[in-house]
Amino acid sequence: MIKCIDVNDLKVGMYIHDLNCDWMSHPFLVNRFKVSNENEIQKIVDAGIHEVYIDTRKGLDLPSAPSAGEVRKQLQSELIEIASRHSAVPRKVEAAEEFGRAQMVHSEANLIVRGILHDVRLGKQVELEQVEPQVEKLTESILRNNGALLSLCRIKDKDNYTFQHSVSVGALMVSFCNALGMGKEVIHHAGIGGMLHDIGKMKVPDTILNKPGKLTEQEFQVMKCHVVESQKILHDTRGISETAVLVAGQHHERHDGSGYPAGLKGDEISQLGQMAAIVDVYDALTSDRCYHKGMAPTDALRKIYEWSKFHFSPELVQAFMRTIGIYPVGTLVRLESGRLGVVVEQNENNLVSPKVKVFFSIKSNAHIAPEVVDLSRKMGFGGGDRIVKHESPEKWKMDPLRFL
């Protein structure tokens, strides 16, 4: 059985099933192993890990510990309860209307950021004049409808992860700031910081940056230096704002002080730095890499919520859920009626019951005429159904975005 335990209860002989943190937060070559000595336990504690999942079939047990299923059920219940208390971010147009424009904005931003990162690799300075128009376009699209563009940000090519991740973090920062009611100027500079937050990775050797596997402890230390390099590059960039530098310089700091490079704690981290940490981890968790499969957005939100006990501001994590929804636009979901559909819009007054375009019947294993179901409405008024769970597009060999 898989169980969740506090690291203070970890003993030699237990089998680690999951270190329960994002991959850039621990120095171990593998995520699963049998604890063989006290030094390994101390290494886990030093990495800022507070809880781990153990496999009692492969190692020692802790009878009083809750099972992974029990923890998951409790977390999901809390997520739903939180979502029911919050409303979604208002939109000006429907996602379907914005989707075409968002595709062009997203594609152009990827090209620009790829060029900027390439130039930095060659030793050239960042030209802010290239970045600012892209952030403005991202912002305009997100203010019209954030779901359209953010759904595109989940699509990544494993070989081009670094620059595509940069665009996604920029877009997510813009959306997050807007959801919190921040001013136009702050939103703009936060978007720039998000888009350039990983620019220091261009100073990391290619053999480490693009390694098709987990980094060694020494490589991990080299990779962590990218944050300081990002700060150096941005400080040397003409016209850059301190807001943008804060976003880039603090996105790996953690609420409990276990982050880097400065080990800042709690309110020592700026609000934008705390927001950037959430956004960066969310996008990393939901992205496919050559050494791990990306999580579904709903699962990633649940993990971030779980980690908010230690690593993130719980209030900001809940605000981020409000920003993108428990089931973000583009999520493939199974309904109680036995139909599959894609989330096409959040309901402003009910994050748990979005609008879903159904197009497939599981019972008959066949496509059906597409129909938009508003899950916030009652039976007879276009609703009367509910989400049972999210589904894997790969499992069903479907691209849900083509139904937006």
What residue ranges do the domains of the chain occupy? 2-66, 95-324, 332-403
Angle at 43 between CA 37 and CA 44, to 5 degrees: 100
Provide the CB-side half-sphere exposure for 354 (13 A, CA): 33
Q: Which of 191, 219, 195 is nearest to 206 (CA)?
A: 219
Structure tokens at 93: 């147009």
> What is the value of pTM for the model shown?
0.93
Structure tokens at 209: 């940056």
Give pLDDT tens digits along the chain (404 positions). 999 999 999 999 999 999 998 766 677 777 899 999 999 999 999 888 999 999 999 999 999 999 999 999 999 999 888 887 767 778 888 888 999 999 999 999 999 999 999 999 999 999 999 999 999 999 999 999 999 999 999 888 777 888 899 999 999 999 999 999 999 999 999 999 999 999 999 999 989 988 877 788 899 899 999 999 999 999 999 999 999 999 999 999 999 999 999 999 999 999 999 999 999 999 999 998 766 788 999 999 999 999 999 999 999 999 999 899 899 999 999 999 999 999 999 987 788 889 999 999 999 999 999 999 999 887 655 567 899 999 999 999 999 888 88
How confident is the model at residue 23, as a pLDDT?
66
Task: Find the helix packing angle between 161-179 and 184-195, rounded to 10°.
Answer: 160
CA gap 247, 270 in Å, rounded: 9
Q: Which of 351, 347, 348 is nearest to 382 (CA)?
A: 347
Structure tokens at 54: 């153990």
Q: How far is CA 272 from CA 98, 195, 280, 311, in A?
A: 27, 14, 12, 15
**What are the strands, taking DSSP E only, across 47-205?**
51-55
How confident is the model at residue 25, as a pLDDT?
67
How confident is the model at residue 24, as a pLDDT?
66
How confident is the model at residue 213, as a pLDDT?
77
How confident is the model at residue 383, as a pLDDT?
63
**What are the strands, taking DSSP E only, across 19-63?**
33-34, 51-55
Alpha helices in 201-296 (DSSP H): 206-209, 217-224, 226-235, 242-250, 271-285
* 95-324 CATH: 1.10.3210.10
How confident is the model at residue 382, as a pLDDT?
55
Instruction: State which CATH number among 3.90.105, 2.60.40, 1.10.287, 3.10.350 fits the domain covering 2-66.
Output: 3.90.105
Can you tell me which residue has the tokens 């996602």?
95
Task: Find the helix packing angle between 271-285 and 297-307, rounded to 10°.
Answer: 140
